[in-house]
């Protein structure tokens, strides 16, 4: 039995155990009192015993074995659909050569030789690893974009059920969300289904599975949802990215776990493991499933990342920015041109342009979702699909107005939303 689970449920276990023991003692006392049997007394005894049995049974299920059984069941059912991703790359193959005559060797006069090396071709080596999970029986796999960011690398998927290896193709990657979809040539595969991340509650039990440290395949950790709608800056030596609206959990997520699933106790994916805090203990993060599912569905259907597009440049307002720029509100998205003064605030011909949005307008809300630090414009738009008609609450020349906009497909330029 998991030690962490025992620690969390120790009090309930002790109360349940001794409660059951006391109930059995009471039953024994009553039985002794009824040793001079009569039909009426036996009927009372039967009813009393039935009540006690029901109470004991209910507490045993809730406090003793319920969660433990659920976790084991989740792991058994989910493990076959969780994969390890092996990253390989051609690297220079070096060989040591002899420096005959100690040419160009300043220490040659002392009889000392300095080893020299030269490249002799290349060789394929494993340079890293990550996790992923299968989302369809025909071989589509979800992982983090940063796991498969090296365009010169080769990616191999190792299945858990039969330990077979399959070459993987990166279908598409969404770097802003840190989600990528891979495809392997296989069929009749086990796969996981997405759950509703909007229904997740703080304190809810979760299970994380992944290729911990790139070495320990399908490592399982158990925890709870510690927080919702967190905004974090995640990155490594190659760069960083801001990830808003992520789930926080105390389930252990180690390097190599990136791209693995965060599961509820029904075995549904409610998040994709993405980062862990280097400055704290038991603080990890996962991308919410609802946001991931929309991106994955678009990639599977179109073979590329398709995002809904409004067509404005903007800066998110906070209290400090509002004070410095004498703005009438402390939240919202201020439509403004680029810092060079040449890049237009509203893209000509875009949905925003057609709806009459102008420079210096402040977009306060999208479909009644107020825009603020936790809900920036691009995150709210990520919940939408091309063709959706949304209602914007806009502050224009000091007056609030409502504007309907039909979203188009975002062009390749990442400069505006």
Q: What's the per-residue H, E or C state across 364-394?
A: EEECCEECCCCCCHHHHHHCCCCCCEEEEEE
- Residue partners of 219: CB distance under 8 A and separation at least 6: 209, 210, 211, 212, 254, 257
258 is catalytic: yes
Among 5, 160, 16, which Cα is nearest to 69's?
Answer: 5
178 is catalytic: yes
Q: Is 352 left (phi over 0), alpha (psi -120 to 50) or beta?
A: alpha
Could you write out the DSSP letters of every residue in 26-72? HHHHHHHHT-S--HHHHHHHHHHHHHHHHHHHHHHIIIIIHHHHHHH
Neighbouring C-alpha atoms within 13 Å toward the C-beta of 350: 21
Cβ-based neighbour number of residue 325 at 10 Å: 11
- Residue 174's DSSP bridge partners are 179
For the chain, the straight-line distance linking the first and the last C-alpha, in angstroms and rounded, comes to: 50
146 is catalytic: yes
Q: Choose the catalytic residue: 84, 258, 284, 289.
A: 258
Q: Choose the catalytic residue: 178, 245, 264, 361.
A: 178
Phi, psi at 78, each rounded to 5°: -90, -30
- Residue partners of 281: CB distance under 8 A and separation at least 6: none
In the structure encoding, which two tokens stand for residue 168, read together? 């993987």
DSSP 358: -
Residue with tokens 């289904």: 193
CA–CA distance, 382 with 310 (Å, rounded to integer): 11
Q: Choose the catalytic residue: 63, 131, 146, 197.
A: 146
CA–CA distance, 392 with 334 (Å, rounded to integer): 13
Hey, which residues are catalytic here? 146, 178, 258
């Amino acid at each position: 039995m998991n030690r962490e689970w025992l620690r969390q449920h120790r009090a309930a276990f002790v109360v349940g155990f001794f409660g059951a023991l006391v109930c059995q003692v009471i039953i024994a006392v009553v039985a002794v009192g009824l040793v001079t049997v009569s039909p009426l007394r036996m009927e009372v005894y039967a009813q009393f015993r039935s009540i006690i049995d029901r109470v004991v049974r209910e507490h045993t299920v809730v406090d003793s074995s319920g969660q433990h059984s659920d976790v084991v069941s989740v792991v058994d059912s989910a493990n076959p659909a969780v994969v390890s991703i092996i990253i390989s790359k051609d690297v220079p193959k070096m060989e040591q050569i002899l420096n005959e005559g100690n040419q160009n060797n300043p220490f040659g006069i002392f009889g000392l030789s300095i080893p020299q090396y030269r490249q002799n071709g290349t060789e394929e080596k494993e340079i890293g690893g990550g996790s992923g999970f299968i989302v369809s029986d025909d071989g589509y796999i979800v992982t983090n974009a940063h796991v498969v960011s090296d365009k010169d690398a080769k990616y191999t998927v190792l299945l858990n059920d039969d330990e077979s290896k399959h070459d993987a193709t990166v279908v598409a990657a969404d770097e802003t969300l840190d989600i990528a979809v891979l495809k392997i040539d296989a069929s009749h595969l086990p796969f996981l289904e997405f759950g509703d991340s909007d229904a997740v509650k703080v304190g809810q039990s979760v299970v994380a599975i992944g290729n911990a440290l790139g070495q320990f395949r399908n490592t399982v950790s158990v925890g709870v949802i510690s927080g919702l709608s967190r905004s974090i800056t995640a990155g490594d030596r190659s760069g960083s990215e801001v990830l808003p609206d992520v789930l926080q959990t105390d389930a252990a997520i180690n390097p190599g776990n990136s791209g693995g699933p965060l599961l509820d106790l029904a075995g549904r994916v409610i998040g994709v493991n993405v980062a862990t805090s280097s400055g704290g203990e038991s603080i990890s993060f996962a991308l919410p499933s609802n946001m991931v599912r929309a991106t994955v569905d678009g990639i599977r259907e179109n073979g590329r990342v398709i995002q809904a597009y409004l067509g404005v440049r903007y800066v998110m307002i906070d209290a400090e920015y509002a004070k410095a720029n004498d703005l009438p509100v402390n939240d919202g998205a201020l439509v403004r041109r680029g810092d060079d003064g040449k890049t237009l605030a509203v893209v000509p011909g875009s949905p925003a342009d057609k709806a009459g949005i102008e420079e210096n307008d402040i977009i306060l809300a999208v479909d009644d979702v107020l825009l603020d630090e936790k809900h920036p414009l691009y995150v709210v738009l990520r919940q939408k699909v091309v063709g959706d008609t949304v209602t914007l609450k806009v502050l224009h020349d000091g007056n609030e107005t409502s504007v309907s906009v039909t979203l188009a497909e975002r062009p390749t330029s990442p400069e505006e939303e």
